[in-house]
Chain A
Amino acid sequence: MATYQEFIQQNEDRDGVRFSWNLWPSSRLEATRLVVPVSCLFTPLKERPDLPPVQYEPVLCSRANCKAVLNPLCQVDYRAKIWACNFCFQRNPFPPSYAGISDVNQPAELMPQFSTIEYVVQRGPPTPLIFLYVVDTCLEEEDLQALKESLQMSLSLLPPNALVGLITFGRMVQVHELSCEAIAKSYVFRGTKELSSKQIQEMLGLTNPAASGPQGRPVAPQDPAVTCRFLQPVHKVDMNLTDLLGELQRDPWPVPQGKRPLRSTGIALSIAVGLLEGTFPNTGARVMMFTGGPPTQGPGMVVGDELKTPIRSWHDITKDNARHLKKATKYYEALANRAAVNGHSIDIYACALDQTGLLEMKCLSNLTGGHIAMGDSFNTSLFKQTFQRVFSKDYNGEFCMAFGGTLEVKMSRELKVSGAIGPCVSLNAKGPCISENEVGVGGTTQWKICSLSPSTTLAMYFEVVNQHNAPIPQGGRGAVQFVTQYQHSNTQKRIRVTTVARNWADAQSQIQHIESSFDQEASAVIMARLGVFRAESEEGPDVLRWLDRQLIRLCQKFGQFNKDDPTSFKLSESLSLYPQFMFHLRRSPFLQVFNNSPDECSYYRHHFVRQDLTQSLIMIQPILYSYSFHGPPEPVLLDSGSILPDRILLMDTFFQLVIYHGETIAQWRKAGYQEQPEYENFKHLLVAPLDDAQEILQNRFPMPRYIDTEHGGSQARFLLSKVNPSQTHNNLYSWGQETGAPILTDDVSLQVFMDHLKKLAVSSAA
């Protein structure tokens, strides 16, 4: 048998699934003792270039509350043309179209390599993608100009049949009509008045009073594209829209000295949501909001317009001094839920030097699968490229975005689902397999993911329900089926079905097996998501304490040690990295608010709970490469000891990409050796990390902040704050070694952390 490493990798490649445990404890009690729950990271739209979608409908189990999809794990009686559902054991006849089926002529979905399969189905008329730009006009002239250019450029990136709309806001909110030829026309709304969706539609002239049926049920518009003047096919209006964008002016209302411009972000978004709600419910749509500052008026206001009152800080929040926080958050949550119900996602592109209220608005993107991008200015490549990358295409030349996804999970009777953490909302689909023990977004077997990208990853948490005294027969397997329905970017409706199974193992007799089936990377991310999820609602220290507790318990469960002898403590290979992940997680901005504004935290957390495993791990524990004359670039420990004078370091924290030139290198560079032909190798050394960084920059979404610094540079703090402070001003001289750079911090180093961990793990008192 291949190693678990290989097994895990293979599974991930094929199904986009990584379980924390690849052998499942066979009883509830045992499962809870494992500390890390039975759970997985699931990437619904994992890129599968080798998987051509099949052009027919999936075959469903006929049991009403099961409806599982026929899959390779099902028992099939080819003669009787009957299959047995592997979840509910219902025996189902094959549909007539499967008449020719036999053990040599199997449909794809029965073949083991198609444990993940994608169906293209015909459901209703194809609906084009919708992009609704919501643009803040309270920007500096330069910023606005850059933004206008980006937006104009984006028109060429959109699929030609996509519908596009434009809302601008400042003191007022303007919904631009795009179909009109002669005269630019827009509907204007007061930025302070909250309107119901119905009112908005009435005011936009979208409701036809005569059209509503006698039952009082509004009749769906026959051809929304025609009826809605605000959303028009790109190919029809791109000239118009380009002009319109070109003529966009800064918000003309005067901003008195000492005031912020009045920015009606809340109303603008509510109008965007209302507009789409009324015209294209349950159709994939993207609201893309570009803002250059915090909402300053109306519902959803984050800070008043007086410059003398600064925007809330963590300090204000902990002191309960953030006046608008709760109200605004509640407002945006309500909006986000409305959007989510209709399958519309909301992106936020916030570019400003100060905070823009992401803390309050994050739910808009978090609940609807939208993106958040944060930058200092729209006139930066960070924004421009990030924005461009939203429209990146896959190997088929199709947009890497999918809309209106619903993820349904079905599982064997021994399992129940506790919840999911990711950019989703609950669809409140009740069923027997829902755990009472809610983790993340629970209480349902279906989630809505309004917008999906190939990297969108959810953490799913399960619960073993089997009682200890009713063991599962040896060799039994538990199965989980993920059914993801979504609207492909080419407007097709698709269903992707992933069915995975894992063996049950008796935790008492097979604990080693279970231990070796532990996927510490996945587990670290899964636990981290739990921690981040908790951190949203709980105080920071509580979360840290909880994480520590879990870690200690895990070490107690699987560590080998003699009681009360920390030095005897040992962890097996499959768990060896896990404490280190936890150490870095504790220091990460996802849980540490110190030095990070509320907006930044929200931003980091937003990306953390949606990226796939690899990216998530980078976020938890940044990667550090070292470049030197001594050999090829090598990954080195994220430790202050790695900071050496004759090295160039490249650190990737996902959000930042730092190139750090050691002291000597920096001096050489300053002296200009790289210019001299005889030092060409030095030139090459300097260039190497840049090239590597470029490669990362090419593919990452959002664009990381690119930092080129050197020893003693102010920007070096990005590196210094990440590395393990093995040498600090406290211990530097006691160690007496001349390696690495001291970090001026009181944070504990990994060494100290591990010492404590060992001590606590072996303590009999714990």
Chain B
Amino acid sequence: MSQQGYVATPPYSQAQPGMGGYPAGFGSTPAQPLYRHYGGPPQSFPAPPTGMMKPVSSPSGMPPPQVPSHYGSNGQQNGAHPQSYPAPPYGQPPQSPYHSMAHQGPPPAQQLTNQMGAMNLGYGPGPMQSPQVPPTSPPTQQPFQTAPPPAMGHSPLGPPPTGPHSSQMAPPQSPLAGPPMAGPQSMGGPPPMGGMGRPFPGPPPPGAGGFQQPGPGAAGPPGHPQQLQGQFGGQMAGPGMAGPGMAGPGMAGPFQGGAAQMAGPPQKKLDPDSIPSTTQVIEDDQAKRGGQVYTTNLRGQVPPLVTTDYTVQDQGNASPRFMRCTTYSFPCTADLAKQCQVPLATIIKPFATVPKNETPMYVVNHGETGPIRCNRCKAYMCPYMQFMDGGRRYQCGFCNCVNEVPPFYFQHLDHMGKRVDFYERPELSLGSYEFAATLDYCKNNKPASPPAYIFMIDVSYANIKSGLVRLVCDELKTLLDNLPREDGAESSMVKVGFVTYNKILHFYNVKSALAQPQMMVVSDTAEMFVPLLDGFLVNFQESRAVINNLLDQIPDMFADTNESETVFAPVIQAGVEALKAAECSGKLFIFHSSIPTAEAPGKLKNRDDKKLINTEKEKTLFQPQKAVYEQLSKDCVSQGCSVDLFLFPSQYVDIATMGDVATHTGGSIFKYSNFQVERDGQHFLSDLRKDVEKAIGFDAIMRVRTSTGFRATDFFGAIHMNNTTDVEMAAVDCDKAVTVEFKHDDTLSEETGALMQCALLYTTISGQRRLRIHNLSLNCSAQLSELYKSCETDALINFFTKSAYRAMLNQPLKTVRENLVNQAAHMLACYRKNCASPSAASQLILPDAMKVFPVYLNSLLKTGPLVGSAELSTDDRAHQRLSTTAMGVEDTQLLLYPRLIPLHNMDVASDVVPTPVRCSEERLTDAGMFLLENGCSLFLWLGQACPPELIQSIFNVPSLAHVPVDLRSLPELDNPQSKKLRSIVDSLLDQRPSSMKLLIVKQKDRSEIMFRQHLVEDKGLHGGASYMDFLCYVHREIRQVLT
């Protein structure tokens, strides 16, 4: 559709010399750290003018007030706007939105002006849908005056009356023209400066000037209108098309929120609305494809976004829930692939949860001989096998080998060459299905046994004191009733076992025949072994009495312990040995408190050295201590023993090492720093419940087969690889994804496309051996534009995240960050060069499918692991790094672009979650209440001016000041607001793989810092550019590439 794609605000990029000043104008932190990350020349950042600082340091200081109010009103109006003007944009110049962002006109400053104009003026109620309008309607105030009524009507929250607006309208200009001008100045350089200066004080003249530009600009790329439709139309959906274009719906929140704070500097921030908005993209996709059925019958079809709510109908390709690619159209040649630098990767989540309304997995049984496979490449029977010779033979779609059809499988072909039983056999008609595996697929040719869950509880002083041990023991009594079971099975076949430990290990015999449990202590941690066989792993139902007895006693038994040292590696070793002895696979749930310092294998010492940060050696902080743990991972994987680690540290525990085994065995790491039962108990328990109950397969081995011409070369995930092709996973659950990168071997043909088959051999929760097959077919094209068109930003960023997080083990962080930006720049530059229509170099042109890629990338660069700040705990960084390894696309998307949900104006009557707004401080309002979640944390942000009624209805306290900060869950109140909010929170928690702890954050409280870290469009608290700065930076990089 779109050739050109998105063309973003050139002014910024164009004015390189002025760049330095720009960030200064916005951010409260000095510019240097920000740019240092990019490795850019420091010279480019002139010291921020003192004048600039003022507004920054006193956002609500003297000069700005008018402006905020000014914008505030705008905001409100804007907020109302979308609804009020769905139609106009279409009628008038469709370019308008386009202009606001993509005025390619030579004088960038003017374009900026235009945008400003658009913002300032275009939001009026009037029909001024586009920047072009301002000139025609010189009295700027007018629109405002007229606007309020409708605006008010639409946004009941907007308290400021119209009056002020109009009266303030003029004053604001001057402050803006003054100090804030530095921003534009720096960007636009001296010449535009003048232009810039004027538009504000006197909208009409500059506006006109600016206005002129759009014309030609629009004219430049002829296809603009259509492109617009193509690119934005979908996303913009109705309201989005409103006059202000991009700024449309997204504007509402931020502007209101920013009212007080935006002050002078926000002047620049007018532009954020004009740069691609993730929330907008998400919203548009939801609008376009949400609620629809996605039928996987076409090759190379781009699925809806992960955030979109859709239903999948499997018609020969795996659901995007299972496999999602960075692009659905592979370049035909390796050269092309190299040229565009777009990674070719698939994120496979083999056990992804399938909604109830979609068909569950069929199990195919081919009898004693096992699944039918290609003789040469061993691919499994799938829709890509071509039957021929009247059905007697079939040609493998992957290696083209012609195979005989086994007699029992023979079936006639119809006139289309399709087997008559096509629709009766899932393996012929579906993208995903399972085969029952035969003994050949079992370890030692012995039938697999049901897996076992072993709970290993650290009973050292710290865990006893924090109350954790009691909490876990109490919880297990009920939790174990919910062990995962086969669909339709009466009870779970999973066996359970219990170990407690500090410096030594205690195993428990909980055989049902016993009157009371027996404890067996193993002190020989140097060479771990399992002291008992019979009675260690038992069926919970049968041994319930003994187990409950045990769980009752454990907390008391160690109540007066003073043992503070722990071991760790021997604990895992013990688990592996236990599973080995029982000849089954399984999972270890380890509840651990401290760095293992006791004399035993895998003993660790504190190597947390903040001095290493930002040096060549920083990577060592993330490298696990090898030897013992490496071997342990191998042992675990070969036994099918997954390790889930629940950490309750009060200080450094070397997660980089401790988490190593978990991240190689398909396990997860949960961390609860300074755990307190009252505060973190619920959070932990819900994590534990989810973890215990979730669907999972064990002792898995995955192989990704591809059609000729390309092959899987690299794998990222909580996996272990013994060779280059077999992905071994001790366990794989519904949240674990493996990212697979492909490389060309040869030329791909457009005709046959690129086929892939992911086969996962695993043991089910009831001990059956199965093969889960996911097939996916992609297009191939010699045209790069095809590739760019069918890119998937969310998948891309997943790949980038994983590869960057892996690279940081071997390269200095600086290099990793540079490489990331470089590759991104190359990708975008390649598009510019090969796919976009010629345009001025100063224009930032982004492929439509990737237009929000920069914001994700920027967010990635600002994540803890990559940011390199001594203020972050090494453990947290390592934890985040490790947790990301097995994330699926949904998780990385949310992690890198949290959802910021405005609550103050939610519609309590409807059951939809309010539309999230952009993750930026500007979107916050004093009088607002926001929910922010990223899959790991959940914040409830309360603005200082949050209406007491709302506070009352949610918290049952009279005012903000009374809201307890240490509240861990929302009080259950019987009013619509409270109910609505709680249902939102619950639904969020339900959707995410891990539970999130609810943190109440009051505006301007100390705790707000944590919250602000997640406003990814803003400057990073620990370094890292704001979205807009980054965009400029990327643009500069692109230009460098292009020249």
In the complex the two chains form, is A188's CB within 8 Å of B531's CB?
A: yes
Which residues in A have their C-beta under 8 angstroms from that of B533? 252-254
Q: Contacts A172-B531, A185-B518 given: A190-B553 contact, CB under 8 Å? A: no
Residues of chain A in range 145-202 having any CB-CB distance to chain B below 8 Å: 172, 174, 177, 180, 182-190, 193, 195, 202
> Which of A186, A187, A252, A253 is the one whose CB lies under 8 Å from B535?
A252
- In the complex, whether B330 has a CB less than 8 A from a CB of chain A is no
In the complex the two chains form, is B520's CB within 8 Å of A188's CB?
A: yes
In the complex the two chains form, is B529's CB within 8 Å of A187's CB?
A: no
Which residues in B have their C-beta under 8 angstroms from that of A186? 518-521
- Of B514, B523, B556, B557, chain A has the most CB atoms within 10 Å of the CB of B523
Which residues in A have their C-beta under 8 angstroms from that of B557? 182-183
In the complex the two chains form, is B529's CB within 8 Å of A190's CB?
A: yes
- In the complex, whether A744 has a CB less than 8 A from a CB of chain B is no
Q: How far is the CA of A183 from the CA of B531 in the complex (A)?
A: 17
Which residues in B have their C-beta under 8 angstroms from that of A193? 524, 527
Which residues in B have their C-beta under 8 angstroms from that of A177? 521
In the complex the two chains form, is A184's CB within 8 Å of B523's CB?
A: no
Q: How far is the CA of A577 from the CA of B859 in the complex (A)?
A: 107
Which residues in A have their C-beta under 8 angstroms from that of B521? 177, 185-188
Which residues in A have their C-beta under 8 angstroms from that of B550? 183
- In the complex, whether A752 has a CB less than 8 A from a CB of chain B is no
Which residues in A have their C-beta under 8 angstroms from that of B517? 183-184
- In the complex, whether A249 has a CB less than 8 A from a CB of chain B is yes
- In the complex, whether B534 has a CB less than 8 A from a CB of chain A is yes
Nearest chain A residue, comparing its CB with the CB of B528 = A190
In the complex the two chains form, is A174's CB within 8 Å of B520's CB?
A: yes
- In the complex, whether A205 has a CB less than 8 A from a CB of chain B is yes
Q: How far is the CA of A382 from the CA of B784 in the complex (A)?
A: 93
Which residues in B have their C-beta under 8 angstroms from that of A202? 523
A558 to chain B, nearest CB (A): 64
- In the complex, whether A247 has a CB less than 8 A from a CB of chain B is yes
> Which of A204, A205, A247 is the one whose CB lies under 8 Å from B514?
A247
A472 to chain B, nearest CB (A): 63
Nearest chain B residue, comparing its CB with the CB of A187 = B521
Which residues in A have their C-beta under 8 angstroms from that of B524? 189-190, 193, 195, 203
A240 to chain B, nearest CB (A): 11
- In the complex, whether B522 has a CB less than 8 A from a CB of chain A is yes
Which residues in B have their C-beta under 8 angstroms from that of A182? 516, 553, 556-557
Nearest chain A residue, comparing its CB with the CB of B503 = A205
Q: How far is the CA of A205 from the CA of B598 in the complex (A)?
A: 14
A275 to chain B, nearest CB (A): 13
A299 to chain B, nearest CB (A): 14
Residues of chain A in range 187-241 having any CB-CB distance to chain B below 8 Å: 187-190, 193, 195, 202-205
> Which of A203, A204, A252 is the one whose CB lies under 8 Å from B534?
A252
B549 to chain A, nearest CB (A): 8
Q: How far is the CA of A204 from the CA of B521 in the complex (A)?
A: 9
Q: How far is the CA of A184 from the CA of B509 in the complex (A)?
A: 9
B828 to chain A, nearest CB (A): 61
Which residues in B have their C-beta under 8 angstroms from that of A254? 533
A132 to chain B, nearest CB (A): 18
In the complex the two chains form, is A172's CB within 8 Å of B518's CB?
A: no
Which residues in A have their C-beta under 8 angstroms from that of B534? 249, 252
Which residues in B have their C-beta under 8 angstroms from that of A205? 504, 523
Residues of chain B in range 422-461 having any CB-CB distance to chain A below 8 Å: none
Residues of chain B in range 110-154 having any CB-CB distance to chain A below 8 Å: none
In the complex the two chains form, is A174's CB within 8 Å of B516's CB?
A: no
A648 to chain B, nearest CB (A): 52
Q: How far is the CA of A185 from the CA of B532 in the complex (A)?
A: 13
In the complex the two chains form, is B523's CB within 8 Å of A187's CB?
A: yes
Main secondary structure of the interface of A (DSSP, over half): mixed
- In the complex, whether B788 has a CB less than 8 A from a CB of chain A is no
Q: How far is the CA of A202 from the CA of B503 in the complex (A)?
A: 11
Which residues in B have their C-beta under 8 angstroms from that of A180? 519
Which residues in B have their C-beta under 8 angstroms from that of A183? 516-519, 550, 553, 557
Which residues in A have their C-beta under 8 angstroms from that of B553? 182-183
A409 to chain B, nearest CB (A): 44
- In the complex, whether B507 has a CB less than 8 A from a CB of chain A is yes
Residues of chain B in range 490-506 having any CB-CB distance to chain A below 8 Å: 504, 506
Q: How far is the CA of A190 from the CA of B525 in the complex (A)?
A: 11
B753 to chain A, nearest CB (A): 54
Q: How far is the CA of A271 from the CA of B531 in the complex (A)?
A: 16
Nearest chain B residue, comparing its CB with the CB of A254 = B533
In the complex the two chains form, is A187's CB within 8 Å of B520's CB?
A: yes
Which residues in A have their C-beta under 8 angstroms from that of B535? 252
Nearest chain A residue, comparing its CB with the CB of B506 = A185
Q: How far is the CA of A182 from the CA of B558 in the complex (A)?
A: 12
Which residues in A have their C-beta under 8 angstroms from that of B532? 172, 188, 252
Q: How far is the CA of A607 from the CA of B216 in the complex (A)?
A: 118
In the complex the two chains form, is B516's CB within 8 Å of A184's CB?
A: yes
Q: How far is the CA of A193 from the CA of B520 in the complex (A)?
A: 18
B758 to chain A, nearest CB (A): 38
- Chain A 472-493, CB-CB to B under 8 Å as 1, else 0, gives 0000000000000000000000
Nearest chain B residue, comparing its CB with the CB of A171 = B533
Q: How far is the CA of A182 from the CA of B546 in the complex (A)?
A: 12
Nearest chain B residue, comparing its CB with the CB of A191 = B529
Q: How far is the CA of A186 from the CA of B532 in the complex (A)?
A: 11
Q: How far is the CA of A24 from the CA of B506 in the complex (A)?
A: 66
Q: How far is the CA of A155 from the CA of B524 in the complex (A)?
A: 31
In the complex the two chains form, is A174's CB within 8 Å of B523's CB?
A: no
B651 to chain A, nearest CB (A): 23
Which residues in A have their C-beta under 8 angstroms from that of B520? 174, 185-188
Q: How far is the CA of A188 from the CA of B517 in the complex (A)?
A: 15
Q: How far is the CA of A187 from the CA of B521 in the complex (A)?
A: 4
In the complex the two chains form, is A172's CB within 8 Å of B516's CB?
A: no
Which residues in A have their C-beta under 8 angstroms from that of B527? 190, 193
In the complex the two chains form, is A188's CB within 8 Å of B518's CB?
A: no
A246 to chain B, nearest CB (A): 10
Nearest chain A residue, comparing its CB with the CB of B599 = A202
Which residues in A have their C-beta under 8 angstroms from that of B518? 183-186, 247
A184 to chain B, nearest CB (A): 4
A207 to chain B, nearest CB (A): 11
Residues of chain A in range 388-425 having any CB-CB distance to chain B below 8 Å: none
Nearest chain B residue, comparing its CB with the CB of A190 = B529
B48 to chain A, nearest CB (A): 60
Q: How far is the CA of A182 from the CA of B533 in the complex (A)?
A: 22
Which residues in B have their C-beta under 8 angstroms from that of A203? 504, 523-524
Q: How far is the CA of A251 from the CA of B556 in the complex (A)?
A: 30
Nearest chain B residue, comparing its CB with the CB of A172 = B531
In the complex the two chains form, is B519's CB within 8 Å of A174's CB?
A: no
Which residues in A have their C-beta under 8 angstroms from that of B514? 247
B186 to chain A, nearest CB (A): 66
Which residues in B have their C-beta under 8 angstroms from that of A195? 524
Nearest chain A residue, comparing its CB with the CB of B525 = A203
In the complex the two chains form, is B504's CB within 8 Å of A184's CB?
A: no
A167 to chain B, nearest CB (A): 13
Q: How far is the CA of A667 from the CA of B504 in the complex (A)?
A: 69
**B binding-site residues for A, Cβ under 8 Å:** 504, 506-507, 514-524, 527, 529, 531-535, 550, 553, 556-557
Q: Which 8 A-B pairs have the closest CB atoms?
A: A203-B523, A188-B531, A252-B534, A185-B519, A187-B521, A184-B518, A252-B533, A188-B520
Can you show 19 pairs from A to B with CB atoms below 8 A apart? A172-B531, A183-B550, A183-B557, A184-B518, A184-B519, A186-B519, A186-B520, A187-B520, A189-B524, A190-B524, A193-B524, A203-B504, A203-B524, A204-B523, A247-B514, A247-B515, A247-B518, A252-B534, A252-B535
Task: Give 4 A-B pairs besides A184-B516, A247-B514, A247-B515 with Cβ atoms closer than 8 angstroms.
Answer: A186-B518, A186-B519, A203-B504, A252-B532
